[in-house]
Amino acid sequence: MPAVSLTVNGKPVRVEVEPRTLLVQLLRDNLRLTGTHVGCDTSQCGACVVHVDGKAVKSCTMLAVQAEGADVLTIEGLAPGDALHPMQEAFRQNHGLQCGYCTPGMIMTAVDIVRRKGFDLDDRTIREELDGNLCRCTGYHNIVKSIAAGARAMAPDAPMPQAAE
Amino acid sequence: MYNFTYHRASGLRQAQNLLGKLDDAKLIAGGQSLLPMMKLRLAAPANLVDLGKVEGLSESS
Amino acid sequence: MSATGLGASVRRKEDFRFVTGRGQYTDDIARPGQARAVFVRSPHAHATINRVGTSAAAAMPGVLAVLTGAEFAADKLGSLICGWMVHSKDGSPMKMAPHPALVAGKVCYAGEPVAVVIAESLAQARDAAEKVAVDYGALPAVVDPAMAQSADAPQIHEIATRNTIFEWHLGDAQATETALRGARHVTRLDLRNNRLAPNAVEPRAAIAEYDAGTDGFTLWNTTQNPHVARLVLSAFVGVAPEHKLRVIAPDVGGGFGSKIFIYPEEVICLWAAKKVRRPVKWVADRTEAFLADAHGRDHVTHAEMGFDAKGKIIGLRVKTIANLGGYMSTFSSSIPTYLYATLLSGQYAIPSIYCEVDAVYTNTVPVDAYRGAGRPEATYVVERLIEVAAREMGIDPAELRRRNFIKAFPHQTPVIMTYDCGDYGASLDKALELAGYKSFSERKREASRRGKLRGIGLSTYIEACGIAPSQAVGSLGAGVGLWESAEVRVNPTGTVEVLTGCHSHGQGHETTFAQFVAERLGIPIENVAIVHGDTDKVQFGMGTYGSRSGAVGMSAVAKALDKVEAKAKKVAAHLLEASEADIVFKDGKFTVTGTDKSAAFGEVALNAYIAHKFSGSELEPGLKEGAFYDPTNFTFPAGCHVCEVEVDPEIGETRIVSWTAVDDFGVVVNPMIVEGQVHGGIAQGVGQALMERAVYDETGQLVNGSLSDYVLPRAEDLPPLVVDTTVTPCPSNPLGIKGCGEAGAIASPAAVMNAITDAIGTEDLAMPATPQAVWAALQRTTRRAAAE
């Protein structure tokens, strides 16, 4: 079995996997990072989105071996310890989740949208950018609100967060 | 998906050699078309040659 | 109102684990030594199983066992059942066919499990499953409910001639016939309520583990109701005695009804776990979810609404054929009957109603509750009829509704339900105001200048939820009572655990229930923990569906809190050396009336367990009380949704430009969460109206069993949603809560279709109103107009 070496959430890992192992399976089964979820089999739901070398990738549509030498960031690595990344906090403040299953993928996608489109995101841009992510619970209204708020909070000149409720 | 043998091409020439000598081989770059088909077991190449680390091949024009 | 009490938009306690990827869904659990199960599923919709060849598969690497229907039958386990008895007009009981979890004789739908492979890894199990050789004898199939009863349709089950499960009716046939014959105007519609695949983003999963030492089983399952699962699995299927079976629902990623039912897969995992003596884990992939999760809706209806000269409805007659699929699923019989026909009065005072429902078997996956469960179907019938009637009679649709609203309560409908309270005019007025109804014609003109067709559609819906009063549903055929349980455990340190028989799969109970308890007891919300989802912890409960957790679940908590308060007063009386009658509990403190002697809740809690002050008296130590709450009535959320659309006539594409919802849910515990429920429901209704339909071809193949072909709404398909409320508190439960989980999905399809048909000027349009369907309807209208 080939071995793949990569960095996951800042830690180097080396795992032996069958070539057909998907990146999401390496993360979930081998590394027990179960925050990244599987929701479909046709690369359409986005529950599996992680960052590979700084960019959003659907980890169900990437072989683990393709991630050789890559720097992978999952939802678990978005903020250190028990801290919340501004995007995670924004989802919590704005009720951007209900069952939580699509949420890790949504948040990782959202952070990537900010990277590409900036801190001042309008309703239309966010909705267009979410065409690779499905949610069945929220009707998207509060997800869009969360992402707009999270983006503003990620801006370098954003005010310090208030004490948590 | 079905099992296959994975080959990582270090350069363009090696990729060409591999394609030449391997039976039933497909190239993989992004994999966004091939992998979904393989996951549904609609495609089942015995060999995959990965172009991901080949210098100079980062995007199609 | 406190910052964390009833009525506050408290941020959810459960969110921390979900946003950090620390949720624990069934597939996240890895049991030591677990093996993986993959099902071999029939590619045929209707076929005999002549032979199942397992030897090749059994010899594959990593395979522990390959099990078939014959072995399942040999172990004499019971059938999966439908727990709601419905009788036909002639008094005969519904024709419930046997439903073994793993079939041996024949298959009745494409995707039905025929064998299971258990292997060390998922990949090995999948590889081996392909090597199971099943020899089928293909039979003709029938998939359309409108065709299932015809003479040349194949008979699917021996017990059901003409594939008819029951021929049921409700109401007064004679009075309705008389009314319609004497009506000044009758609107008639033929409507299809399109078949839907629920598609919760988390696929179904089960992990079954057998402990040979205790002869006990544990099942982790994506279920909305672990105790109901345990009851059915033990009492009916017989896979283990109830007290030897623990069912755990961990975090569940959405359900919408699809995770209520007891399915073949968890039965087989439990059975297999004992055979292979290893934990057996199965997780559906999305294709399996399409094939094997219960679908929703699938009605064919002919409906007639009769009016007098003043535009008052005098009669409504409905005939529906309901597709229940290849077998009767757990609640399937109730959906097109007692959760459907009983809502046909809508918000209107209708003197005579008659509804006939034929339920049929077809070679499709079983159909059962899906968000709204019968009420979206009823609302679609009623709200399309009244809108079309308004157009036919040249009366403004809002005005026609107003003329017919029920205004005095309680109101006994001709279809069993007694509505207890409501103010339908208030929600209509508010919705029309927020939606800018009066200025719609300006927007229509402006759009027309851009070559676009604007339409506006109303849906004034009512539903019956807070499921359900046990006596009522029992008398209607339900096999179980639909009460709910709660146990409030006060710890010596004054923190509280509330054990509820409900189970949150997105509804935020860990927060909303805690809000209620914290406010009642005057303690910080952080000190309240909600426990749900484990049959070893919560003694019994009926689960979460039917918008019941607030109305029924929290009412049970209220009753338990009443008992806690009563007992705590006794303890406080001892502690404060006063008589019990003089103790008042307010804002977290027990005070002796007329004095300043008091004790905080925490102090009383501690003393309940120290018990020094009252050992020897009849007062027992401890502070823990349980209660069961049985509703006395359904609750009746109601409201008005307004949908405004813009249709591009060149390509038939519909854009929803605005959505306004004004709902009366009674008392609202957490407005933020309630709005979220409405948002989600609207999205699902929009999905039904615009893009979703599970399609079986005439051979019974599900042709769109993937997200590539079955279109789910995405963020771009919806606008921001305007959501507001009016309040008439529910008189039938202690909190005044009506429930809100399904209303969005109930109201919305009619609102969308009313809007699009308004835009394009024809009623000749069925759901889903895809661009192709809308474009074709426009072509037909143009051709008809040209021909006239």
Q: Where are the domains of chain A?
A: 3-76, 86-154
Among candidates A32, A123, A133 on the partner chain, residue whose Cβ is nearest the Cβ of C720: A123
Does A42 sit within 8 Å of B36, measured CB to CB? Answer: yes
Domain C299-467+633-787 -> CATH class: alpha beta
- The verdict on C22 touching A (C-beta cutoff 8 Å) is yes
**Neighboring chain B residues of A23 at a CB cutoff of 8 Å:** none
**Sequence-distant (≥ 6) Cβ neighbours of residue C788 within 8 angstroms:** none
- C544-582 confidence digits (pLDDT tens): 998 899 999 999 999 999 999 999 999 999 999 999 999
Q: How far is CA C608 from the centre of its chain?
A: 41
Please determine, for residue C588, whether its predicted confidence score (pLDDT) is greater than 50: yes
> Mean pLDDT, to the nearest integer, of C706-734?
96
Residues in A 23-62 with any Cβ partner in B closer than 8 A: 41-43, 60-62
Q: Is C21 on the interface with A (CB under 8 A)?
A: yes
Confidence (pLDDT) at C612: 82
E strand spans, C542-650: 583-586, 589-592, 598-600, 624-629, 638-648
Nearest to C149 by CA among C322, C16, C382: C322
The single-letter code of the amino acid at C441 is: S
DSSP C433-445: HHHTGGGHHHHHH
Q: Which residues in chain C (58-117) have CB-CB distances under 8 A to chain A? A: none
Contacts of B50 in chain A (CB under 8 A): 65-66
Report pLDDT for C712.
Answer: 98
Q: Using 50, 70 and 90 to split pLDDT, how confident is the model at C477? A: confident
Q: Is the pLDDT of residue C456 over 70?
A: yes
Q: Of C39-43, C192-196, C462-466, which range is least confident?
A: C462-466
Q: Which two tokens stand for residue C443?
A: 């927007």
Q: Are A125 and C705 in contact (CB under 8 A)?
A: no
In chain A, DSSP finds a helix count (H) and a strand count (E) of 5, 5
> Amino acid identity of C100?
P
Reported as a pLDDT band with limits 50, 70 and 90, residue C281 is very high
* Token reading at A117: 């489109």
Contact between A139 and C200 using a beta-carbon 8 Å cutoff: no
C287 to A137: CB separation less than 8 angstroms, yes or no = no
Task: Report the CATH superfamily, name and number, of domain C31-139+202-253+259-292.
Answer: Aldehyde oxidase/xanthine dehydrogenase, a/b hammerhead (3.90.1170.50)
Check if the beta carbon of residue C734 is closer than 8 Å to that of residue C555. yes
Residue C616 has pLDDT above 80, yes or no: no
Mean pLDDT of chain C: 96
pLDDT band at B60 (very low <50, low <70, confident <90, very high): low
Integer CA distances (angstroms), A117 to A52, A53, A127, A151, C199, in order: 18, 18, 13, 10, 30
Residue C613: pLDDT band by 50, 70, 90 thresholds? confident
Which pLDDT value is given to residue C788?
74
What does the pLDDT read at residue C650? 97
Helix (H, G, I), strand (E, B) or coil at C306: strand
d(CA C223, CA C226): 6
Between helix C601-610 and helix C555-576 the angle, nearest 10°, is 70
Cα(C40)–Cα(C172) distance, integer angstroms: 48
Are the C-beta atoms of residues C37 and C118 closer than 8 Å to each other?
yes
| Residues of A whose CB is below 8 A from B46 | none
Q: Do A135 and C706 touch (CB under 8 A)?
A: no
CA distance C681 to C257: 13
Find the mean pLDDT for residues C675-679.
97
Chains touching C, CB cut-off 8 Å, 3+ pairs: A
Q: Which CATH superfamily is domain A86-154 in?
A: [2Fe-2S]-binding domain (1.10.150.120)
Under 8 Å CB pairs connecting chains A and C tally to 186
Contact list in C for residue A76 (CB cut-off 8 A) is 20-22
For residue A161, the model assigns a pLDDT of 63
C214 touches chain A (CB under 8 A): no
Q: Report the half-sphere exposure of C147 (CA within 13 A, side-chain side).
A: 11
Distance CA C381, CA C305 (A): 10
Average of pLDDT values for C389-404? 98
Q: How many helices (H) and strands (E) does chain C have?
A: 19, 28
- Chain A neighbors of C18, CB-CB under 8 A: 97, 100, 103
CA dihedral (C260, A38, A40, C37) positive or negative:
negative
Closest chain C residue to A36 measured between Cα atoms? C21
A131 touches chain B (CB under 8 A): no
Residue C329 CA from chain centroid, whole number: 14
The string of DSSP codes covering A7-36 is: EETTEEEEEE--TT-BHHHIIIIIS--TTS
pLDDT tens digits, one per residue of C78-95:
999 999 999 999 999 999
Cα–Cα distances (Å) from A150 to A37, A146, A157, C172, C367, in that order, read 22, 6, 13, 57, 40
Type of residue at C671: P
Question: For residue A145, what is the nearest residue in chain C, using CA coordinates?
Answer: C720
Cβ of A84 within 8 Å of Cβ of C11? The answer is no
**What's the topology of domain A3-76?**
Ubiquitin-like (UB roll) (3.10.20)
**Chain A closest-CA separation from residue C578 CA (Å):** 39
What are the tokens at C285?
Answer: 């992939």
What is the Cα–Cα distance from C776 to C778, expressed in whole angstroms?
5
**Given this model, what pLDDT does residue B61 score?**
61
- Tokens found for residue C542: 């009926």
Residue C296's DSSP bridge partners are C196
Q: Which residue from A32, A41, A136 is facing C200, i.e. has the nearest CB?
A: A136
Distances (CA, A) of C509 to C13, C163, C590, C669: 9, 42, 28, 11
- Predicted local distance difference test score (pLDDT) of residue C639: 98
B contact chains, 3+ CB pairs < 8 A: A
| Mean per-residue pLDDT over chain B, rounded | 90
CB atoms under 10 Å from CB of C24, counted, come to 12
Record: contact A91-C286, CB cut-off 8 A: no
Q: How confident is the model at residue C506 (pLDDT cuts 50, 70, 90)?
A: very high
Residue type, C135: D
Cβ atoms of residues C716 and A128 within 8 Å: yes
ipTM over 0.90: yes
b/e C631-670 (16+ beta carbons within 10 angstroms → b): bebbbbbbbbbbbbbbbbbeebbbebbbbbbbbbbbbbbb
Residue C24: list chain A partners with CB under 8 A: 34
Grade residue A159 by pLDDT with cuts at 50, 70 and 90: confident
Say what the alpha-carbon torsion angle C544, C550, C555, C561 is, to the nearest 10 degrees: 100
Structure token pair of residue C444: 């229509």
Average pLDDT rounded to a whole number, residues C335-355: 98
B 20-59 residues with CB < 8 A to A = 28, 31-32, 35-36, 38-40, 48, 50, 52-53
Count how many pairs of residues, chain A against chain B, have C-beta atoms within 8 Å.
Answer: 44
Chain C CB contacts of A141 under 8 Å are 679, 718, 720-721
Question: Cβ separation of C673 and A95 shorter than 8 Å?
Answer: yes
**Model confidence over C684-715: pLDDT tens digits?**
999 999 999 999 999 999 999 999 999 999 99
pLDDT of residue C602 exceeding 90: yes
Domain C483-629 - what CATH class? alpha beta
HSE-CB of A159 using CA atoms within 13 angstroms: 4
* Interface mutation vs chain A, best among C9, C28, C34, C201, most A CBs within 10 Å: C201
Contacts of A18 in chain B (CB under 8 A): 3
pLDDT, residue A165, reads 42
Evaluate if residue C122 carries a pLDDT over 70. Answer: yes
How far apart are alpha carbons C64 and C391 in whole angstroms?
Answer: 66
Is pLDDT of C426 > 90?
yes
Could you tell me where in chain C the CATH 3.90.1170.50 domains are found? 31-139+202-253+259-292
User: What's the rounded Cα separation, in Å, for the pair C32 and C761?
Assistant: 63
d(CA C641, CA C663): 8
Give me the pLDDT at residue A164, please: 45
Nearest CA in chain B to A64: B6
Provide CATH 3.30.365.10 ranges for chain C. Answer: 299-467+633-787, 483-629
Q: CA end-to-end span of chain B, whole Å?
A: 30
Confidence of residue B57 (pLDDT cuts 50, 70, 90): confident
